[in-house]
Amino acid sequence: MLSTAAAAAPAERIPNFSPGANTAWRSDSPNGLVPSPTGPQPVGADPTIFDKDHPYDMDKAFPVVDATNPNLLPWVADALRAQNARVLWGARLYSPTSSCWPAGLPTIMRYNGPPVFITQTENEVVIIQEFNSQVRRVLLNRQHSSRPKPSWYGESIGHYENGDTLVIDTVGFNDRTYLDLFRTPHSVDLHVTERWKLAAGGREIDVTIRIEDPGALKAPYELTKHYNRLEAQWQEVICAENPDDPLKQGLEPVPEDPTPDF
């Protein structure tokens, strides 16, 4: 819920993304993220194999992807071609999130089922994705660090606009996540800009996402996502660790920290 301090902030109207203790948001966008109808496009399934309405399920199986996408730098296309070779050979591929790795941006926004919860304070917005209890922290009232330490979700700096929009600018990613569930790689130059806009009297959110990465893409591309408000209690959904891969299906090893904290 919006804090008293944030609600009382002078000279700036602040959109309230959490008007009640059990306010949550659930997406109904097809495949989680919708590409812009014009301009450069994200990677999709290979159109010579899958028609645009083919009901493949990226949560369970990876299709052969379009490595000829003209917006990809050569090393990205090569990585996808190598992945295609494994799929055509018969290997099963999985998202690293199946082994409890963070999804990164914008991939975490792909998931539709589990709800999203948003809390706001004077200096921070916290976005909690119920899926695997992944948390994003958006810092307000400050600038980016001169040299952000690379991390799974980068350094997110936000500000409000027009009384209805939260703008989030994120840099400082590591290169260990993917741009999508097709496993499209990115570089440490990834830059993600999001605009979360309240709509329909506060009952909906429209999000636009701009993806820039001069180390992996020739030009930026844009995506959209739509949320509907609902009442729900946050559930602590813990990722079920699965460290074994007896059938050699290509599962990522479960994250381990070899350094004790005590």
How far is Cα 65 from Cα 70, in angstroms, rounded to an integer?
13
Question: What mean pLDDT comes out for the span 120-129?
Answer: 93
Q: What is the pLDDT of residues 4-62, one digit of tens each?
A: 444 444 456 899 999 988 999 998 776 788 999 999 999 988 888 877 666 555 555 66
Q: Which of 97, 66, 61, 71 is nearest to 84 (CA)?
A: 66
Question: What mean pLDDT comes out for the span 80-100?
Answer: 83
pLDDT at residue 5 in the model: 43
Q: What is the pLDDT of residues 66-86, one digit of tens each?
A: 999 999 999 999 999 999 998
Residue owning tokens 């130059």: 189
Residue 86 DSSP one-character state? H
How far is Cα 211 from Cα 191, in angstroms, rounded to an integer?
6
Q: What is the pLDDT of residues 203-254, one digit of tens each?
A: 999 999 999 999 999 999 999 999 999 988 877 777 765 555 544 555 666 6
Residue owning tokens 């020739």: 218
CA angle 241, 107, 119 (to 5 degrees): 85
Please tell me the pTM assigned to this model.
Answer: 0.86
